[in-house]
Structure 1
Amino acid sequence: MTRPPGDSDRDDSSTESGPVVCARCGAQAAQPPPLTWTCSVDKGVRSYFCGTCSRDNLRAIEGRLDSDWW
């Protein structure tokens, strides 16, 4: 799917205040999430994964497998 010129990849959820929660283990971090966290979009839903969960599932993430799989 392509986007029109000038359209941003960001959505309004990235501007919310409050902690970011890891979709796998529930760890929390302040906005914006640390650089060690991974942002994934599965089926149009943005999810964040903490550094530990990201490292533990690196192959699945790089293989673009749905987070439901791993």
Structure 2
Amino acid sequence: MAAVCSLCGASPHPELEGDPPLGWSADLVDTGDGPRTRWVCDVCTRRYVRSIEAKLDQEWW
């Protein structure tokens, strides 16, 4: 597997982080060449989750 973060370009170290890397997020994206996996590293995943939480209405909490 050649996981590369689609946001920052980081690459995991398989021996340290596992394969697939622990804490990373993945989703399937439809492209002209068929579906492919898009990876987001643990750092960018945390950053993205926090931005979603910040946009939620106060009533949700």
Q: TM-score range by the shorter chain?
A: 0.5 to 0.7
Unmatched runs of 5 consecutive residues or more in structure 2 = 53-61
Supply the AA of the counterpart residue of 2:46. R
Query: Of Structure 1 and Structure 2, which has the larger fraction of its residues in helix?
Result: 2
Q: Normalising by structure 2, report the TM-score.
A: 0.54
- Give aligned pairs, total: 43
1:21 aligns with 2:8: no
Deviation, 1:37, is 0.4
Match of 1:49 in 2: 40
Identity, in percent, stands at 29
Unmatched runs of 5 consecutive residues or more in structure 1 = 1-15, 60-70
Deviation, 1:36, is 0.6
Supply the AA of the counterpart residue of 2:41. C
Greater Rg by CA: 2
Deviation, 1:35, is 1.4
- Greater relative contact order, per chain length (Cα 8 Å cut-off, separation 6+): 2
Once the two structures are superposed, residues 28-59 of structure 1 have per-residue CA deviations (whole angstroms, 9 ceiling, x without a partner) of: 11341321100111223211110011111123
